Amino acid sequence: MAKKPIILGIETSCDETAVSLVQDNDSGVPKILSNVISSQFDVHKEFGGVVPELAARSHIEKIDLIAKKAIKESGVKLNDISAVAATVGPGLIVCLSVGLNFGKAMASSLNIPFIGVNHLEGHALSPKLHTKLDYPYLLLLISGGHSQYLSVNGLGNYKRLGTTIDDALGEAFDKTAKLLGIEFPGGPKLEKYAKKGDPKKFQLPMPIINKGGCNLSFAGLKTAILRISKNLKSEQEKFDLAASFQNTIENILFIKTKKAFEEFKKNNLNEKQFFVVAGGVAANKGIRDKLTEVSKQCNFQTIYPNINLCGDNAAMISMVGLEKYKLNQFDELDLPASPRLPLDKNAKFLKGAGVKI
């Protein structure tokens, strides 16, 4: 019986140094053998955001140690690894280069295939790590750098239906948290603040809510938060502003997701419709609840990655590597890092915004 492939995946697109080993199995759901993640919160805390040069230096210092730990935890011998997969983009080029070069060197030394993986494709397919999921499905990818609705039609086959014309949702969370004095990384902590506040206290704008299809905009909302935050007089008002922000985001996504469902259904008439929500912001419980509500209204089944797979991780990179391995989709060792790598390469630029939609 042929050996089931084992893929070692590497993720260093931003401030997480991560290595994972994933193995194919007979059930159609890949098995995570190990998934080691080293965060850099302490490195960037005093700067209130990720400093690329410091992030890259931290990756260089940790990558060998994290890889050895992941291999040890998996119980896999080096010679049993079938291929090495590494994030090629998008991301910070100085960070991407660390994982990419480490992965190439490892593949070369073991004389096994090397596979470059789109970081966004990792998020897009991440639910496949714990559930069987057939194509096509609608994806909402919401993270610190990306906010997109995509039709996921197959491996490497994506059609963008909508995107943010300015800021990503995760960035809006982080900036709002910073204005409220929440310690970095503030975005994930903002929801806890919101639970202590009145979601109706502040009336906040919902940019392009009635136009632009399922495209999103958060810059105007961020500006309103900045203006209001300068006049807050108590800790309770901070909680109220956080709650109002959370509530506004939930309502924006409710309305825009309805529009995305309509767009998706134009080309997908399957009896069962699936809606995947992935990326770091997909861990937000209020957003999950609101999106589950709109999905039920529109007869979509909502699927979320496990909470520990919403943020950046290497298991999703290994899993995409496994899918590509089975199709013999390998890359040469001179594959360059691609910091602005899109999922839908045919997406057009939105005039005036400099953003692909």
Count other C-beta atoms under 10 Å from residue 130's C-beta. 16
Question: What is the C-alpha to C-alpha distance for residues 6 and 34, in angstroms, rounded to an integer?
Answer: 11
pLDDT digits (tens, 9 = 90+) for 159-168: 999 999 999 9
Q: Just give the CATH number of 6-128+309-343.
A: 3.30.420.40
Query: What mean pLDDT is predicted for residues 245-253?
Result: 98
Question: What is the C-alpha to C-alpha distance for residues 81 and 185, in angstroms, rounded to an integer?
Answer: 35
Tokens 């966004």 -> residue: 120
Question: Of 92, 220, 213, which Cα lies nearest the Cα of 167?
Answer: 220
- Taking domain 134-304, whether its CATH number is 3.30.450.40 is answered by no
Asked whether the predicted pLDDT for residue 121 surpasses 80, the reply is: yes
Query: What mean pLDDT is predicted for residues 168-176?
Result: 94
* Chain region(s) in the chain for CATH 3.30.420.40: 6-128+309-343, 134-304
Query: What mean pLDDT is predicted for residues 251-278?
Result: 94
Question: What is the C-alpha to C-alpha distance for residues 317 and 280, in angstroms, rounded to an integer?
Answer: 15
- Per-residue pLDDT band for 39 (boundaries 50, 70, 90) equals confident
Specify the pLDDT at position 44. Answer: 64
Tell me the pTM: 0.92
